[in-house]
A and B are shown apart, each in its own frame.
Chain A
């Protein structure tokens, strides 16, 4: 059972890609398949980001240890889908015109938030290996990877601004991210209080 966890999670993370590939081939993505593809890749990345952020709370509150074992995998796949999402934007929306992309990013906060999220995730994906953990030292590595909290916040607002009016679903996802971050904030505050007491 224990051995099967990581391969099973890996397979599950591949399913959205297979699903989208299949739908694209079958013409199942509607009249605007590019928009559907871009939205779904972004949505998948967002859900994986939320799952990554849920691993530590699951351990602390529910006593589950297994999510921590697939956290790196979830984070890597989050970056993978976020990169495909960005690629559809850069290639299909902007035709690889870097000038147009730069203007778009700087001029529109919706685009800026998406790009900023990806740029924050980039160093985390690069340093997600054990080798980089050793090279940076665990404390520094851990501090660096706290950037994911900011990425979660920015991604939430990027998702919210995707639609002309806020959607209930998006608000629910923002709430989920907020709760996951709040759990950490409360935990950190408690630990600090305990340290003050004991010193």
Chain B
């Protein structure tokens, strides 16, 4: 008897469908499917150097699959698996990023121009979501400070506002996502120019996957993940504190600062512990997500009030 006599390969490959059918009950079928979309690898980024100051050797990096199939990107859908399944609905070329407001040299960048102008380095950062899960991600990018400096911010540039793309074909934009679009975020200028704050264009040495905020996104590792706006189309420097999507949607649950803080709970759940993706039990959350070097930015501030 040959192996092919037992089960035709085409049928074998569809075994999950048969299992689903076999389960039969409407109840079981109505449970959401978590089967991961096939992970597409992007082109390798050229000339990435590893920055040893941010190698984070004590942390185990999450897999490319974890990082690209478990995402919050409401424009592409509200379930964690939606962004990877709908990744193709985001068009990343042509792409313009405008820098405007309180700058001496405003500029509309083409993304290809940015990729040529700034040397990209790898930095391994912890990412802590406000939903109490976390990952360790090797980002490829460059400091936002270097990028902003090119535009010569004026003395009135006290805050930086970020805007995420809105494209009509994105399923969350068409449907019911709960929050308004465009997604907007903001930082104080000293937060934006802190050496940790990154503009990422890749991860694991590859072009940033769409579901992770291609082609260019913000990464602020000491703040909850929602501060790190994805797929940026506009960066505006201004004198006043910009509105931010989640803090406007639910001011009692999300603040402008949104620093990772185990002492200040979300009204619905505790922030003192988190589940590192890939681990069974929860671990303790650390202040500023384990980046104590940012503490001086908030000297004298009551972080219970400015959460």
Interface residues of B in 187-219 (CB under 8 A from A): none
Interchain nearest-CB distance for A15 vs B (Å): 4
Interface of A is mostly: helix
The answer to the question of B263 belonging to the interface, with a C-beta cut-off of 8 Å to chain A, is no
In the complex with contacts A15-B25, A19-B23, A108-B268, A164-B178 CB distance below 8 A:
yes
With an 8 A cutoff between CB atoms, is A110 at the interface?
Answer: yes
In the assembled complex, the CB of B27 is this many whole angstroms from the nearest CB of chain A, namely 5
Q: Which residues of chain A from 1 to 47 have a CB within 8 Å of any chain B CB?
A: 12-13, 15-16, 18-20, 22-23, 26, 28-36, 39-40, 43-44, 47
Note all chain A residues with C-beta closer than 8 A to B253: 164
B239 at interface, CB cutoff 8 A:
no
Q: Is A68 an interface residue (CB 8 A)?
A: no
Contact of A44 among B23, B31, B74, B178 (CB under 8 A): B31
Is there contact, CB below 8 Å, between A16 and B277?
no
Q: Is the CB of B280 within 8 A of A31?
A: no
Q: Determine the chain A residues whose CB is within 8 A of the CB of B28 once the complex forms.
A: 15-16, 18-19
Partner-binding segment picked from A133-141, A165-173, A177-185, A187-195: A165-173
Q: Are A110 and B268 in contact (CB under 8 A)?
A: yes
Taking residues whose C-beta sits less than 8 angstroms from the other chain, chain B's interface range is 35 or more
Tell me which residues across on chain B come within 8 A of A103, comparing CB atoms: 270
Across-interface contacts of A165 in B (CB, < 8 A): 74, 78, 177-179, 249
Contact A16/B25 with A35-B275, A108-B270 known, Cβ cut-off 8 Å: yes
Is B269 a contact partner of A15 (Cβ separation < 8 A)? no
Contact of B131 among A12, A108, A164 (CB under 8 A): A164
Contact B78 A163 (CB under 8 A): yes
With A16-B28, A111-B269 already in contact, the answer to whether A31 and B70 are too (CB < 8 A) is yes
Q: Which residue of A lies closest to B279 (CB)?
A: A34
Min CB gap A100→B, angstroms: 8
* A19 & B269 in contact (Cβ 8 Å cutoff): no
Contact with A along B45-79 (1 / 0, CB 8 A): 00000000000000000000110011000100010
Q: How far is the CA of A187 from the CA of B65 in the complex (A)?
A: 54
B117 within 8 A of A: no
Q: How distant is the Cα of A28 from the Cα of B31 in the complex, in angstroms? A: 12
Evaluate whether A32 and B78 lie within 8 angstroms (CB atoms) in the complex, with A43-B31, A92-B280, A161-B268 already known: no
* Residue B265 is within 8 A (CB to CB) of chain A in the complex: yes
Which residues on B sit within 8 Å (CB–CB) of A146?
none
Smallest CB separation, B79 vs chain A (Å)? 9
Verify if B150 is at the interface (C-beta below 8 Å from A): no
- Best-buried of B19, B24, B34 by chain A (most CB within 10 Å): B34
Distance, CA A92 to CA B274, complexed state (A): 11
Q: How far is the CB of B298 from chain A (nearest CB, A)?
A: 24
Asked if A109 is at the interface (CB within 8 A of a chain B CB), the reply is yes
> Which A residues touch B270, using CB under 8 A?
103-104, 107-108
B278, chain A: closest CB distance, angstroms: 8
The answer for the CA separation of A94 and B269 in the assembled complex, in Å, is: 12
A31, A36, A95, A168 — most chain B CB neighbours (10 Å)? A31
CA distance A43 to B29 in the complex (A): 12
Give the contacting residue for A108; candidates B69, B133, B265; CB below 8 A: B265
Among the interface residues A15, A20, A29, A107, which one has the most CB atoms of the partner chain B within 10 A?
A15
Q: Are B27 and A32 within 8 A (Cβ)?
A: no
Which residues of chain A come closer than 8 Å to B249, judged between CB atoms? 165
Cβ B277 vs Cβ A12 within 8 A: no
| Complex contact A12–B25 (CB within 8 A) | yes
A-B contact pairs, 24 of them (CB 8 A): A12-B27, A15-B25, A15-B27, A15-B28, A19-B23, A19-B28, A22-B19, A28-B16, A32-B80, A34-B280, A39-B32, A44-B31, A93-B282, A94-B282, A95-B282, A103-B270, A108-B265, A108-B266, A108-B269, A109-B267, A163-B78, A164-B130, A164-B250, A165-B78
Task: Give me the interface of A with B, judged by CB distance under 8 Å.
Answer: 12-13, 15-16, 18-20, 22-23, 26, 28-36, 39-40, 43-44, 47-48, 92-95, 103-104, 107-111, 161, 163-168
**Residues of B with Cβ closer than 8 Å to A?**
16, 19, 23-25, 27-28, 30-32, 34-36, 65-66, 69-70, 74, 78, 80-81, 130-131, 133, 176-179, 246, 249-250, 253, 265-270, 273, 275, 277-278, 280-282
